[in-house]
Amino acid sequence: MKEERGFTLVEMAAVLLIISVLLLLLVPSLSDGKSRADQVSCEGSVRIVESEINLHYAEHKAYPETLEVIKRASAADPLVYSCQSSTYRYSPTDGSLKKQ
């Protein structure tokens, strides 16, 4: 009599169940990582804009009147810098960017 080798239907179902559970655990952690990466990227961009504001101050002894001067303004408002889902308002009096 020949012995057939292979997986049974029950074994295949168990493997698929284990893989499904692992994927369910993995997907939320991946989406959290993406949002954190976006936040870190935005914080880095804000630091770069702040550096450009300070360089303008160093060269001209005055803060730029708007962010258009350093080519970083949003399309709608020259005193707003947008990054990912965050919005920052620029204050020309002290050269600061504050999160709205």
For residue range 67-93, list pLDDT tens digits in order.
999 998 888 899 999 988 889 999 999
Residue 90 to residue 79: CA distance in whole angstroms: 5
**Quick check: 87 and 81 in contact, CB under 8 A?**
yes
For residue range 6-63, list pLDDT tens digits in order.
888 999 999 999 999 999 888 887 777 778 888 889 999 999 999 999 999 999 999 9
Q: Give pTM, 2 decimals.
A: 0.68
Which pLDDT score is estimated for 7? 83
Q: Is the pLDDT of residue 1 over 70?
A: no
- The residue assigned the tokens 């889902």 is 85
Residue 94 to residue 15: CA distance in whole angstroms: 61
Angle (CA) 66 44 82, round 5°:
45
Residue (of 30, 51, 41) closest to 85 by Cα position: 41
